[in-house]
Amino acid sequence: MGHVVVDAELAGARRERVRVLLDTGATYSVLPADLAKRLRITEAPRRLKVRLADGRRKSMRVGTVFVRLLGREAVDTALIGPPGIDPLLGVEALEALGLAVDPRSRKLKPTRGHAVLLVSIQGADA
């Protein structure tokens, strides 16, 4: 299908507009440690054991990130990866936002209405 990259607003205690890869093969989103630090993502006290795309198992730090994309907002679980990697949004984030990647156009399309707003990231520092 190729890569699909979009601009999204991510937030912890701070927010930032970021280019993210949409990875429909990944369950969780992954943020580089340096971005998670800038956003002041609150990490869970325990690590999450995950299976990587190459089959290896790894224990990773995990935190909560607020995502705003195409006027939709959602709370997402993000794994914290090494500094400098490309940030990606996984399937859980896309489902929470009510969005899917159209494989033909390589663009996002709504999968449902998004009338319920659970959390707003407006209060995060710029």
For residue 2, what pLDDT is reported? Answer: 59
What is the pTM assigned to this prediction? 0.83
Q: Is residue 118 part of a domain?
A: no
Q: Is residue 39 part of a domain?
A: yes
Structural domain count of the chain: 1
Q: Is residue 124 part of a domain?
A: no
At 24-78, the pLDDT tens digits run 889 999 999 999 999 999 999 999 898 888 889 999 999 999 999 999 999 999 9
Query: Higher pLDDT residue, 121 or 32?
Result: 32
Q: Is residue 100 part of a domain?
A: yes
Q: What percent of the chain has pLDDT over 70?
A: 87
- CATH number, domain at 100? 2.40.70.10
pLDDT at 120 over 70: no
Q: Is residue 105 part of a domain?
A: yes
Task: Give residue 69's domain range.
Answer: 5-110
Q: Is residue 95 part of a domain?
A: yes
State how far the Cα of 11 lies from the Cα of 55, in Å rounded to an integer: 30
- Reading the block at residue 13, the tokens are 């205690």
Q: Is residue 74 part of a domain?
A: yes
Taking 3-state DSSP, the helix, strand and coil percentages for the chain, each rounded to the nearest 5, stand at 10, 45, 40
